[in-house]
């Protein structure tokens, strides 16, 4: 067995997807090690979650940098200093610039609360509810320069009940996010994710 893949998590808010990763790591189901949690929000609950698990945290505030590129240069340097191999966006509310994408090519993933390419951007559960779709869900994808436009790795489907409120639908989607994100991180740690253009394939587990 080699060393576990080193993960850096970026989070701006509550950090419930971070918690799902931390729980999976504690249970031996992640196949990777979270080595740093970085936030652009000093009040993010994600920071407290990381502290409780003994994970190093850092706050980088955009106001301290002259441009998005300057911010991302500092972010990339911080992650590289922790020898991060995979960057996971878990409720991170900033678009990444080419500076970050070039520093971690095909090594940045995001989780989004819709079945992309439907309902990208903010408030995806509300978008789906208002549109009247019968099914929505969540997506883990590689990050590119667009908003929620990178190659799709995996998705989970959530049926929309006619009686669902927006809040109930969002909670149902979030439960599936908490299942999907650790699974995808494990696949990546095991080297099972193959990217060919926009198409992503998951190799079968060889049972080893």
Sheet holding 57-59, edge to edge: 57-59, 32-39, 5-10, 86-89, 108-112, 135-142, 152-159
Strands (E), 11-133: 32-39, 57-59, 86-89, 108-112
User: Residue 138: beta bridge partners?
Assistant: 156
For residues 35 and 6, the answer to whether their CB atoms sit within 8 Å is yes
Q: Per-domain residue ranges for the chain?
A: 5-202
Q: How many residues does the chain have?
A: 208
Q: Provide the terminal-to-terminal Cα distance of the chain, rounded to the nearest Å.
A: 10
Q: What is the pLDDT along the chain (208 residues), one digit of tens a residue?
A: 578 999 999 999 999 999 999 999 999 999 999 999 999 999 999 999 999 999 999 999 999 999 999 999 999 999 999 999 999 999 999 999 999 999 999 999 999 999 999 999 999 999 999 999 999 999 999 999 999 999 999 999 999 999 999 999 999 999 999 999 999 999 999 999 999 999 999 998 765 4
Active site residue 112: yes
Secondary structure percentages of the chain, helix, strand, coil, to 5? 35, 25, 40
Q: CATH number for the 5-202 domain, one of 3.50.30.60, 3.40.50.170, 3.40.50.620, 1.20.1250.20? A: 3.40.50.170
Q: pTM of the predicted model, to two decimals?
A: 0.95
CA–CA dist 185, 191 (Å, integer): 10
State the catalytic residue, choosing from 82, 112, 141, 178.
112
């Amino acid at each position: 067995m080699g060393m576990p893949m080193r993960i850096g998590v970026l989070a701006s808010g509550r950090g419930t997807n971070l918690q799902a990763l931390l729980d999976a790591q504690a249970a031996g189901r992640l196949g990777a090690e979270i080595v740093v949690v970085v936030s652009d929000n000093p009040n993010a609950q994600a920071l407290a979650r990381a502290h409780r698990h003994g994970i190093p945290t850092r706050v980088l505030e955009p106001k301290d940098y002259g441009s998005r590129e300057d911010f991302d240069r500092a972010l990339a340097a911080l992650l590289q200093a922790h020898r991060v191999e995979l960057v996971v966006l878990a409720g991170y509310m900033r678009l990444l610039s080419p500076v970050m994408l070039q520093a971690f090519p095909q090594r940045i993933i995001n989780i989004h609360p819709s079945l992309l390419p439907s309902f990208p951007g903010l408030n995806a559960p509300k978008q789906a509810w208002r549109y009247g779709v019968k099914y929505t869900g969540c997506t883990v994808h590689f990050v590119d320069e667009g908003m929620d436009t990178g190659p799709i790795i995996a998705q989970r489907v959530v049926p929309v009940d006619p009686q669902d409120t927006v809040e109930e639908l969002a909670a149902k989607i979030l439960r599936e996010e908490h299942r999907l994100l650790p699974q995808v991180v494990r696949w990546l740690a095991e080297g099972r994710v193959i990217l060919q253009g926009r198409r992503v394939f998951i190799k079968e587990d060889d049972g080893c």
